Structure 1
Amino acid sequence: MVRTAAADVAIRCTDLSIAQTSAGRSQRVVDGVSFELADGAALAVMGPVGSGKSTLAATLAGVEQAAAVAGGEAMVAGVRVGQSARLRRRLTFATGYVGQTSGAELPPRLTVAEIVADPLLSRQRRVNRRAVSLRVAGLLDELGLALGVADRMPYELSAGMRQRVALARALMLDPRVLIADEPLAGVDVTARPLVCEALARRRAAGLACLVVTSEHDVIARLDADVLVLHDGHAVAFGHGTDHLVWSPSADRAVIAS
């Protein structure tokens, strides 16, 4: 991959290994992965179940506490990925994160407006409430959600609408990096172009996007580079799914449609 200037790199992983601890036992789930993601660029991470995709994304976002860097190095938005709570807080401020179950696990007793505003309100006690409301309304509109959705509860929304609410919440603080695990899961086909267009506008302003996805159309819409993982190892890289450079030992069936 072409190396970019440090100031323009949103994510840099150098020979990164990540270990997960369960029942007192540590196991490497990502092993020796290296890549760079420039500001304004998009990278899709693909691979079969158990390849380490979700662990990689959650660790880079600073939300995976059951996993730790076991070797190499990762820098996200200028913050070194590590185990300390202080570093995790810095990462969660610099990155917007949408996990596999974020849409399904929205706080059930909060309105949509309260959920989207939470990243800001949980950090700042004194805010201009009108400005926050306008900010929330703008994000919902950007992702194709009607203004009336702001006062509704999560159980009143479809799965795809809840997913877009989770995306709006992740974008609330204007992060430098968006890390999303299956970001369009459950989103209606008519709403998908709106979401991708919103991300494209933000990428033009410098937002870097790392998405975990198995959907070829999502990769095409995002015009993303692709990194393929298999058993925790990077086995292919390229632009889109039709121009991948594979390692000699790679099993190309890992991204078969």
Structure 2
Amino acid sequence: MARHRDTDVAIECVDLSIARASARGGDLARVVDGVSARLPHAGALAVLGPTGAGKSSLAAVLAGAEEPGLAVVGGDAWVEGIPVRKPGRAHRLHTYVTGYLAQGDGSRLPSRLTVEEVISSPITRRSRRADKRALAIRVAALLDEMKLPLGIAVKYPYELSAGMRQRVAFARAVMLQPRVLIADDLLANLDLSAREAVLAAIRRRRDAYGMSTLLVGNDRDSVEALNARVLVLRAGHVVAVGESAADVTWTPSGEADHRLIAS
């Protein structure tokens, strides 16, 4: 189903800088410095780079995640027209239109909730009056799409394999049919069949209603499967951009290092 768009692009970053407080508190340290990027509707952008480059911090801010110690300290960014720096009352809308799969989400699923309750949580957190039968049908459809047995709906996360938990986390991220999916380490712990199920689910939503996808990590398979444009970070700075992982242009200040995109 087509959706109305209020902006020209799904995500726009303009000289965005992000800082994180140390575990002991004190001064903020910049983890993302002066990033500018655009993600069009129905497009895909992959943010690549080494560990510590600032990729996950960038993803968390763009997803509207409330992470202690993480703050925008320069520039700005908009997700579906909503500013991430000071969204105010629009924060609730921001998290509604954005599906977020954080790094390690599959291993952090709530142990006291069943799989059905986990996947349904984006709706049940917002409304206690949700139709339980409609939710059950929606969960069953997502489990089938993820090539997971319907019987696991009543199981708990600790009863599942790592690959199953990752797919449950993905199903939760797309439960609300988001306009933008931000996925950090999307294909973690997945075998080839499960990877294709997840990638096919993204392509299906892109074609059906123009969902945009921001990928974070260094998995070339997902970059190529989704025809994603590439942005490479190193120490919080953009050092390369390209139409694909095989075709990047390095910035004058960034020494070419193809190991950063060779995973």
**TM-score (normalizing by structure 2):** 0.92
Matched residue, 2:114: 111
Quick one: structure 1 residues 106 and 32, their matched pair in 2 at CA, closer, same or farther if it must change by over 3 Å? same
Q: Hey, what's the Cα distance between the residues in 2 that align with 1:188 and 1:100?
A: 17
Cα deviation for residue 90 of structure 1 reads 3.0
Cα deviation for residue 150 of structure 1 reads 1.0
Q: Hey, what's the Cα distance between the residues in 2 that align with 1:229 and 1:99?
A: 18
Matched residue, 2:10: 10
Q: Hey, what's the Cα distance between the residues in 1 that align with 2:190 and 2:6?
A: 35
Amino acid aligned to 2:204: R
Q: Hey, what's the Cα distance between the residues in 2 that align with 1:145 and 1:129?
A: 20
Q: Equivalent residues in 2 for 1:152-171 (5 A)? A: 152-171=155-174
Matched residue, 2:142: 139
SS at structure 1 position matched to 2:99: strand
Matched residue, 1:82: 85
Cα deviation for residue 85 of structure 1 reads 6.4
Matched residue, 1:41: 43
Is 1:82–1:88's contact at 8 Å kept on the other side of the alignment?
no
SS at structure 1 position matched to 2:108: coil
Residue ranges of structure 1 left out of the alignment (5+ in a row) = none
Matched residue, 2:214: 210
**TM-score (normalizing by structure 1):** 0.94
| Match for residue 100 of structure 1 among 95, 100, 103 | 103
Q: Hey, what's the Cα distance between the residues in 1 that align with 2:87 and 2:231?
A: 28
Cα deviation for residue 84 of structure 1 reads 6.2
Q: Hey, what's the Cα distance between the residues in 2 that align with 1:6 and 1:29?
A: 30
Residue ranges of structure 2 left out of the alignment (5+ in a row) = none
What percentage of residue pairs aligned between the two structures are identical?
A: 53
| Match for residue 33 of structure 2 among 16, 24, 31 | 31
Q: Hey, what's the Cα distance between the residues in 1 that align with 2:253 and 2:100?
A: 32
Q: Hey, what's the Cα distance between the residues in 1 that align with 2:95 and 2:237?
A: 26
Is 1:103–1:164's contact at 8 Å kept on the other side of the alignment?
yes
Alignment RMSD (CA, Å): 1.6
Amino acid aligned to 1:28: R
Matched residue, 2:251: 247
Is 1:107–1:154's contact at 8 Å kept on the other side of the alignment?
yes
Q: Does 1:91 align with 2:97?
A: no
Q: Hey, what's the Cα distance between the residues in 2 that align with 1:108 and 1:121?
A: 17
Q: Hey, what's the Cα distance between the residues in 2 that align with 1:38 and 1:134?
A: 32
SS at structure 1 position matched to 2:103: coil
Cα deviation for residue 239 of structure 1 reads 1.8
